[in-house]
Structure 1
Amino acid sequence: MNLRGLFQDFNPSKFLIYSCLLLFSVLLSLRLDGIIQWSYWAVFTPIWLWKLLVIFGASVGTGVWAHNPQYRAEGETCVEFKAMLIAVGLHVLLLMFEVLVCDRVTRGNYFWLLVFMPLFFVSPVSVAACVWGFRHDRSLELEVLCSVNILQFIFIALKLDKIIEWRWPVVCVPLWILMSFLCLVVLYYIIWSVLFLRSIDIIAEQRRTHITMAISWMTIVVPLLTFEILLIHKIEGADNLNFVCVFVPLWLSLLTLMATTFGQKGGNHWWFGIRKDFCHFLLELLPFLREYGNVSYDLQRSEDPEAVEDLPVPEPPPKIAPMFHKKTGVVITQSPGKYFVPPPKLCIDMPD
């Protein structure tokens, strides 16, 4: 495993998101089971931290952009800056939704349709962002997730307000469609991994990459689907299952996503105005990391300096001039112990 390559391809933005979601899901499950009696405003603390870092990072990046006009002519700087603005706009709408959810759960005196109103605005904005990202070759995963779930948001809001009396498995039909597509993606990676594993024309690195992708997708999608099924079963009235057990598959998916961030390139360089990869920025900010990173250790060497001095220095092997033995027809090269039989002579009979 190449640890240097893993950290060079580290994506801090996704790692932050998955870490906050993992901590939030743990607190939420404990709160729903009554193990902790915290307020929902405290349970949402990881979400507030996530949104605070996003808004602060975008503010710093905007300040650096405004005070340094010379940076705007560097490659795709304008595209990355616009992508950051789109991302922070969506995060602000999501923050409004989360604040309304906490207030609705705490007070409970207005419709859920009003709570979901920011998500209704997020979806069309996400569709426009996806079109823009496709034109500029940008990866917009959050935008895709928000744009394809607009119908699911509407169904959940109508169900919570009791405008529709459908059962929860029917309400989540858009979610099942999306998960079916993800299962097809997992099946696709598994089939290609098996084909690459049986092929002799594929190098080992490509086989390893496809097998890793198949395992990663499988450990993300399968536990996520299990979590959704258990959650629907719990909401439908399964009293023999607590929320901690329901959330365990989700934690497995989030841990897998956190592990995949160490091999994913990407990330906008304009967050916090660093304008470079996170690892390079960290090494420049903390020089002692470079000092310790350049230290190498040889565990095979003795710690006694006198013993090291007494070790005999191996002499280079003598060079042997190339020779040809007439009787055996063997060529002796300069590498002792390696013998190569000359190719047989080619006889061509000329016609008379």
Structure 2
Amino acid sequence: MIPFEYRRADDAASAVALVSGNPNAAFLAGGTNLVDRMKLGVDNPGMLVDVSRLPLDAVAVLEDGRVRIGTNVRNADLAANAVIRRRYPVLAQALLSGASGQLRNMATTGGNLLQRTRCVYFQDPSTPCNKREPGTGCSAVGGYTRYHAILGASEHCVATHPSDMAVALAALDAAVVVLGSDGERTIEVSEFHRLPGDEPEKDTVLGHGELVTAVELPPAPQRSAYRKVRDRASYAFALVSVAVALELEDDDAVTPVIRDLRIALGGVAHKPWRALQAEAVLRGAPATEENFRAAADAELAAAEPLHDNGFKLPMTRNALAAVLRELTGAPAPEAAAAGTDHPEGPEGPVDAGWEEMGS
């Protein structure tokens, strides 16, 4: 590891001042991603400003029903929080499906949002990577792409965002509160992360020196859930994940109508992917398998799978339908029950390895 200067911040404003005034400085919180990148030689900051001891570690219910989560709340603590478990199960489920128990004990809310892709080429400094070194090329294009994007990619980058938590936050329509040298601002989480375009090195819309101080959740949805499809039951990044928050017109009806909903997908794009086309199909529609599949098809119409990840199309379709069935009580189709609605992926049925939340 290359030597660096270490500073411990006394407060958020001084932390922002230290990083803003040094183009080679970075914030350090749990360190579960940044320190790994430093060990690999992907990142080499000259100064680390430790913000992990700042008093930004509370979960507070606000008077208007929103919930404010401090940036230093650990992932394990947030998943176990009674308010989160009761009101926002999609977020608790997403957190528990991420990483290992040891990492969740260290990783912070703000750090989880800011973690960078686990693309094998990004993490290997011996290979060209536009995200790591702009203008050098994308080794994944024409390379190994099993874990890469099928939506929103560009010729400059086909990497995916690794966070489970961020996908749940996108479905909840959360907001990110940040502090910079010009003061505080709030960014909708759907606008916080960027698609690669021709600047894949920029993961978020944050300016240098801006510090995430909190995440704010709107009042809880009627129902929500998260499902993650991965290669093994723990400590694996999503091949595909789905987060849904919805409201039903009459949740006691045999076939309820979906009054409103928000859908976010993980493992398919450079950022948590808000499935606006699927939402438009389902908003105001009966909760039926036919509508679930039509919504998935509408969202995936723009997908551009790569040579190793075409299986993500049926996998996304099946995962989305499964979450919607879970939340609405819609019956499973006869074909799925008979095992005929599971197109084969490169390693067997595309829904192989689905698991409930857990570490």
Indicate the structure with greater helix content: 1
* Greater length-normalized contact order (CA 8 Å, ≥ 6 residues apart): 1
Into which bin does the TM-score normalised by the smaller protein fall?
Answer: under 0.3
TM-score, with structure 2 as normaliser: 0.27
Indicate the structure with greater strand content: 2
